[in-house]
Each structure stands twice: as C-alpha cells, then as structure tokens.
Amino acid sequence: MSVSRRGFVAGGAVSIALAGSLDSVFATAAGAAEGEAYGYGPLVPDPAGVLDLPKGFTYEAFSTEGDTLPGGGAVPGKHDGMAAFPGRRHDDLRLVRNHEQGGSGTKAVARPEWTYDPAAFGGTTTLHVDGKGDLRDQYVSLAGTATNCAGGVTPWGTWMTCEETEGFGGQTKSHGWVFEVDPTGLRTVAEPIEPLGRFAHEAICIDPRDDTMYLTEDASGPFGLLYRFRPRARRGGYHSYRAGGVLQAMLVPDVSDLSQVLEAGTVLRGVRWVDVPDPSAAKTSTRKQFDTITRSQKLEGMWWDRRGGGRAYFVASYSRTSSGAAGDHAGQVWAYDPRRNTLELELVFKPGGKYDSPDNITVSPYGGGVILAEDGDGEQFLIGTDRRGEPFSLARNAANDSEFAGVTFSPDGRTLFANRQSGPGTTFAIRGPWQRIKGGHGRR
C-alpha cells in the first residue's frame, strides 16, 4: 500500500496545509508478512477457522444470531455498531449492540414500551458481561426500529442508535431517526429524537465540552453529508436533545466532494456550517435541500477522540468515480477539530491495496492510533494503526467474508469487542498483550 500523493482530483482555490509527510502510513514493503514491522506481529491461523489473531491473543465468541435469550425469543441478526459501558459493579460491563435489519431477518422483539414500529425488524441488544468476560445476561433493549447501523456514546453514558434508512415498505411509523438507549434499561423509551433530523443516519459522536453532536449520513443520489447538532439544552442528559437545537451541514469552501482530497496530511481550513432548512425531511430529504454543500460517498463510522483538545473522527468507506464521485479511494479517515475549525485527512487507502472499505472506528488506548472494522471485498480484517499512523492487521475473519463491525474497548481497556455481522452474526471479546504494540509508544 502507498499513500496517494496526487493531491486534488478536482481543483479549486482551497486553503490547505500539509501536516508533515505521512508516507510511513503505508510503508510496509511489498510481500512483507502482515504485522511483522509493527502492530502485534503476524496473524496466527485459528485451528477452529473462526478468528485469526496475533500470537498471545485470544478470543471468546458469544451472543450469536438465533441463540435463545434468557427471557425468551432469539438473538436478532446482522450485528453492527456497539459500545461498552461500565456496569453496576467495578468488574462487569454492559454492551449495547445494533442490529442492521429493516423488514426481514431474525426479528428484534422487546416489551411494548421498548418497541417503536412492530413492522420493523431492527433494534438493539444489551449484553451483561462479568469481569471474567463471561456473558451473564442479554435481552433486546429496543425493537421496532429499522436498519440500525452504527451510532455512538454520549458523555452521560447512553447509546445513540441510528437508523440508516428513510423508510421501507410496510412500515407503520416514519423511519430515519436516532433513538437513545440506556444501558441499564431503566430510562429507555422507544421514541425518536426528532430534532436530530430524519435521514439515512450512520454514526454519531459528541464533543463533551458543549454536547455538540456530529452525525454522518450514508446515502446516494446525491451523496450524504456530515452534520452537526447544536443543542438548546445547557446541560446534557438522557433525552436532553429532545429539547431541540439547530441541525447544520458541513460546507468546506471549494470542496464539493471530500474524495477530491487524496493526499494524507491535507488540512482544510475555513469550515462552515449551514442550517438544514427542514430537519424532519417532511417533503425533501435533508441532503437534497442544498445546492452548494460538501458531500461524500459512503460516510460511515465516527468516534470522539478526547486526546489533545478533542477531535471528531469519521470514515469515508470508499469513493468511486464510476458512481459519480470526484476521486477514487478505498477508504479515508478524517478528523475534524472544532477548536481550530479544521478538517484533516489522516489516512487514505489506495484502491487495489491490502485493506479496503473501513467502516466502524474506535480510538485505541494503546499506541495512540485507531481500530477500523473492514467492510470490503474478499478477506475482512480489523485494522489497527499506531501513533505514527502505520496500519497493521489486528484480526482476520477466518470463517467467511462477512464484514466486521462494532469495534469498542471495554472501559478498562483490557478487552476489545467486535462483531462479525453475519454468517451468523457473532460478538467477540478479544484479549491479549495490548501494551506490546510495535511502532507505537505503549499505553498513553
């Protein structure tokens, strides 16, 4: 793999600055064994043919689609976005996991107060995991939602689950909303947070300093937007966004398509935010309400990075000129800095390389990098990067070609959880010598 140094495919008078050469991001020599130069070493084939990991790492698989739930019913399908939250004790935690199903699949079935539209098959499952990593309990914590793809965590410890749809045949209520799930189950109600807009939501992340939310949209005809929501409530808390606020879309001067930028290290300045005329999309989809705006094909995962002054990471999974995009790439990782109002392209995957189509993302507490869940062609990897931005293979799906999703670390940083979406959907708990990362600087 090599960083694309072609700069802009489509020109324009753009204020840019280079943050230093990032050629080391893809410096692995052709033919070198994956992970030998950095990361945790080469992947070791799993005798069970499930999950290949570096030496010294282990996994536990649980909560597979179709498993019987303790309270009755079955684990829903299409495992997707997920996050981990502290439990009631110091040695346990709760996972809240999305199910990206619309009108078919192993249906998410919950009690009435947690069910929005009985015609929809998606929702969330909450899993209680003890200090030993054993699954103690699991239940459907939200049902009647559709195509729950990704989402994000709030500063007050809840999960925002996002519907990646604008509706489906047979629905009894409107779809394309964000719902809030309390990991304890005590406050969850199946009501959309309408001020956050109705569109094909992908993921969110939140700046804890002022509770500004950033949201990605995975859509086409035209491509989706990056949004932010400025809440009216002065203090965040469960359902505080229901008090309203302003939904805005990102506009980068002279950049109509983020795939114009193909040089890692490029910094775009002068970012503007434009009010969305009708967030409810009553007659026109939100992304179609603009003539001049900045778009991107396949906007996907998000995660808030607390390091430094804080930044919003987001992923563009791929871009193809054959689909109408300005440039071709196999994945971008961007970071928006709200203090400096800058947008930096941190990582670019070149078409035809080892990795392609990153999706969900989380910030690693080890080595200063990120973990990406691949949703590409052929083999599927969990991709790590160290503090210098060098990518490495952290895991490989040895069972099938299903995508990875839902990457998230436990609150103590000892366990990485991830989902295989299908074949069947399964959750993994991955443990190992995280502090031994090569090419990084250990745990921060």
CA 439 to chain centre: 25
Q: Tokens for 74?
A: 């079955």
Strand partners, 332: 316, 348
C-alpha span between 47 and 45 (Å, rounded): 6
- The whole-number average pLDDT for the span 190-203 is 98
- The whole-number average pLDDT for the span 194-200 is 98
pLDDT number for residue 90: 72
C-alpha span between 228 and 210 (Å, rounded): 12
Q: With cut-offs at 50, 70 and 90, classify the pLDDT of residue 269.
A: very high
- The whole-number average pLDDT for the span 51-57 is 97
The burial of 21, by beta-carbon neighbours within 10 Å (0-12 exposed, 13-18 middle, 19 or more buried), is given as exposed
Instruction: State whether residue 279 is helix, strand or coil.
Output: coil
Q: What's 340's DSSP letter?
A: T
CA distances from 294 to 1, 127, 254, 291, 371 (A): 28, 38, 9, 10, 26
Q: Tokens for 8?
A: 């802009």
C-alpha span between 301 and 285 (Å, rounded): 21
Q: Over 80: is that where the pLDDT of 405 sits?
A: yes
Round the CA-based radius of gyration of the chain to a whole number and report it: 20
Q: Are 328 and 319 in contact (CB under 8 A)?
A: yes
Strand partners, 215: 204, 227
Give Dmax (Cα) for the chain.
60
C-alpha span between 11 and 6 (Å, rounded): 11
| Of residues 378 and 18, more confidently modeled | 378
pLDDT number for residue 252: 98
pLDDT number for residue 134: 87
pLDDT number for residue 132: 79
- In one-letter notation, the amino acid at residue 387 is R
CA distances from 313 to 28, 170, 215 (A): 24, 35, 11
Indicate left, alpha or beta for 200 from its phi (over 0: left) and psi (-120 to 50: alpha). Answer: beta
pLDDT digits 0-9 by tens, 18-48? 333 333 333 233 333 444 457 999 999 999 9
pLDDT number for residue 368: 74
Q: Over 70: is that where the pLDDT of 100 sits?
A: yes
- In one-letter notation, the amino acid at residue 388 is R
C-alpha span between 360 and 421 (Å, rounded): 12
pLDDT number for residue 154: 98
Indicate left, alpha or beta for 310 from its phi (over 0: left) and psi (-120 to 50: alpha). Answer: left
Strand partners, 418: 428
| Of residues 98 and 307, more confidently modeled | 98
CA 74 to chain centre: 25
- In one-letter notation, the amino acid at residue 65 is E
CA 252 to chain centre: 22
Q: What's 350's DSSP letter?
A: P
pLDDT digits 0-9 by tens, 120-141? 999 999 999 987 778 999 999 9
Helix, strand, coil share of the chain (percent; to 5)? 5, 40, 55
C-alpha span between 273 and 413 (Å, rounded): 35
Nearest 5 degrees, angle CA 366-CA 371-CA 373? 160
Q: What's 54's DSSP letter?
A: E
Q: Tokens for 129?
A: 């995991």
pLDDT number for residue 388: 77
- The whole-number average pLDDT for the span 209-230 is 98
C-alpha span between 181 and 276 (Å, rounded): 26
Instruction: State whether residue 408 is helix, strand or coil.
Output: strand
CA distances from 266 to 32, 148, 334, 353 (A): 28, 32, 10, 21
Nearest in space to 304 (alpha carbons), one of 100, 410, 128, 155: 155
Strands (E), 56-176: 58-62, 79-86, 93-99, 122-129, 135-145, 148-153, 159-163
pLDDT number for residue 16: 29
pLDDT number for residue 439: 63
C-alpha span between 233 and 236 (Å, rounded): 7
pLDDT number for residue 360: 98
Q: Over 80: is that where the pLDDT of 274 sits?
A: yes
Q: Over 90: is that where the pLDDT of 305 sits?
A: yes
pLDDT number for residue 144: 98
